Amino acid sequence: MGSLSLSVETNSFSNGASTTHQRLSGLMEGRHFERFIEKLSISLVCLPVAEIRAEIDRWLKEIVLCNDLDRAAITQIDPKSGKLVVRQSWSRDNRLKLPDGFEVSRPAPWFDNYLMSGQTLVYSKVSEVPREFVSKDWNIFRRYIPKSNISVPLRMAGDVVGSVGFASFRREREWSPRSVRRFESVAAIIGSALERRRAVEENTLLRHELSHVARAAVMGQLTASLTHQLNQPIAAALSNAEAIQSMLESERPDLEELRGAISDVVQDNLRAADVIKGLRLFFRKDQIQKIPVDLGQLVADVVRMLGSDALFRNASLTFESPPSLPLIVGDRVQLQQAILNLILNAFDAVEGGDARQVSANVFVDGDCLKVTVCDSGKGIDPATVPRMYEPFFTTKPKGMGMGLAIAQSIVRAHGGSLTARRNADRGSTFEISFPAPRKELPAT
Ligand code: ADP
């Protein structure tokens, strides 16, 4: 990360150490912004939703300190009053702290309308605030507002729902167009993290109440995560492109550095393309094709298809199914996709172990038709269980985090359920269960 450390330890700020601030001030202008954005984005996308608030607090603090500002605050519309109220904030000085629930438009009635129209509010000095914006008591007003301020509309699912504001009380400052854009990127990432939290909360509620619309809820959650995932490479690409622009302006550009920055842009683009590729299945326009499917045959096909993968990974892949099974009604390709995802995960789980065994089994259990995929891997880490079906959640260095989200969505769309457990001896078992199949296949 070079000489400019963005992950400054909290302690170095606790006494307002000015040397640290000097060194870090101007983060929104510097070349290290894309690393900052990357870290912000990764930290917010990886966290369980319950921890998002605390993590945003940490980042608000870091942004204030790294840019020598005094306060950062997030506001949202209060559903009861329709006014913008403070949801969370961090201030360098406790006297500037805005209490949660504080109605920001009280001293500045124009503030709500301006932001809700989707415009970023930027002023470098108080005299730039148009007097007509302030209804009365200008002299009192100017004593309390920041000397310089930038407030960016906070968007969720495209709608403005509040603002993310950054204020300087100690001194006036200039905001370059580039730094304004960068604050806007930060607000976009915070917005998508909050959107993910909202979608997960709504999704949890929906799951209890309306299990049949689970797929739609996953779609909402997925869209929120997608926005989050795409914001990061896009902001990084923009930042790198700007760096290239300024390098080209110098008389003798450093070709090596230019090459590095261009290859970063290419990587950012590839990352964005990967995210989109992983979603193709969800965005397919065609409806589920409901035809009678022999699950035994279908799983056998997937196992055959993955035979060379098993060889390549030095793993054994076995398959068992009774000769005749009831048919279920469903979409062949989607069901294959769900089972393929489970088997590929099982291969990943056994990688590096001494016994690399994966087995797929289809059988009838009471009124249910079940498919299990068992592996002899490390077993599911209990810490990942609450999040493993979330889109984009992954513990793998090159994972996409879509395998289980897609599998679960497909299984649910077919009226089934997907569960996972640790095996008594080693590894884990993922089990798909479909209820009450209707027809019997003739025995072969
Ligand atoms: P990805 O495989 O890209 O990580 P998935 O949605 O398929 O995405 O899986 C999410 C996470 O669930 C994995 O990163 C891993 O931590 C956990 N997981 C999935 N399958 C297994 C398995 N068979 N054994 C242990 N952990 C698993």
Which pairing describes strands 326-330 and 368-375: parallel, antiparallel, or unpaired? unpaired
Q: How far is CA 427 from CA 166, 371, 379, 423, in A?
A: 49, 17, 4, 6
User: How does pLDDT run across 281-320, given as a tens digit for each residue?
Assistant: 554 444 556 789 999 999 998 888 787 778 878 999 999 9
Establish whether residue 373 lines the binding site of ligand 1, counting it when its CB lies within 6 angstroms of any ligand atom: no
Q: Are 101 and 85 in contact (CB under 8 A)?
A: yes
396 lines ligand 1 (CB under 6 A): yes
Alpha-carbon span 44 to 193, nearest angstrom? 6
- Is-contact 335 396, C-beta < 8 A? no
- Ramachandran angles phi, psi of 51, nearest 5°: -100, 0
Q: Which one of 404, 406, 408, 426 would you pick to mutate in the ligand 1 pocket, going by the greatest count of ligand atoms within 8 A of its CB?
A: 404
Q: Cα of 274 to ligand 1 centre, how many Å?
A: 18
Domains of the chain: 3-199 (3.30.450.40), 222-285 (1.10.287), 287-444 (3.30.565.10)
Other beta carbons within 10 angstroms of residue 347's beta carbon come to 20
Kindly report the average pLDDT of the chain as a whole number. Answer: 80
CA 251 to mean position of chain CA atoms: 41
pLDDT at residue 57 in the model: 93
Q: What is the pLDDT, as a whole number, of residue 137?
A: 63
Does residue 404 have its Cβ closer than 6 Å to ligand 1? yes
CA of 403 to the centre of ligand 1 (A): 7
Of 46, 343, 348, the residue with max ligand 1 atoms within 8 A of its CB, to mutate for a pocket test, comes to 348
Q: Distance from the CA of 404 to the center of ligand 1, in angstroms? A: 7
What is the Å distance from ligand 1's center to 134 Cα? 55
Q: Which atom of ligand 1 is nearest to the CA of 400?
A: 3
State residue 278's pLDDT score.
60
Q: Which residues pair with 361 in a beta bridge?
A: 320, 372
Amino acid at 249: E
Write the DSSP string, 76-126: EE-TTT-SEEEEEEEESSGGGPPPTT-BTTTT-THHHHHHHTTPPEEESSG
Give me the pLDDT at residue 333, please: 75
C-alpha of residue 354 to centroid of ligand 1, in Å: 19
| Amino acid at site 270 | L
- pLDDT attached to residue 285: 40
Residue nearest to atom 16 of ligand 1 (CA): 395
Q: How far is the CA of 406 from the centre of ligand 1 (A)?
A: 12
Question: Does the Cβ of 294 fall within 6 Å of ligand 1?
Answer: no
pLDDT given at position 210: 36
State which ligand 1 atom lies nearest to the alpha carbon of 341: 7
3-state secondary structure of 152: strand
394 in contact with ligand 1, CB cutoff 6 A: yes
Protein residue with its CA nearest to atom 27 in ligand 1: 380
Helix and strand element counts for the chain (H, E): 14, 13
Q: List, for the chain, all residue ranges whose pLDDT scores fall below the cut of 70.
A: 1-31, 106-109, 132-143, 202-225, 228-229, 277-289, 436-444
Residue from 345, 347, 357, 432 to probe ligand 1 pocket by mutation (most atoms less than 8 Å from CB): 345
Tell which residue, 345, 351, 352, has the closest CA to residue 430.
345
Cα 333 to ligand 1 centre (Å):
21
Helix (H) or strand (E) holding 245: helix 214-249
> How many angstroms separate the most distant Cα atoms in the chain?
91
Strand 316-320 and strand 357-365: the pairing is parallel
State the distance from the centre of ligand 1 to the C-alpha of 10, rounded, in angstroms. Answer: 33
Q: Is the CB of 388 under 6 A from ligand 1?
A: yes
Ligand 1 proximity of 225 Cβ (cutoff 6 Å): no
- Is 377 touching ligand 1 by the criterion CB < 6 Å? yes
- Give residue 377 CA to ligand 1 midpoint distance, Å: 11
Q: What share of the chain is helix, strand, coil (3-state, %, to 5)?
A: 50, 20, 30
Which atom of ligand 1 is closest in space to residue 430's alpha carbon? Answer: 23
Q: Give the whole-angstrom CA distance, residue 405 versus residue 386.
A: 12
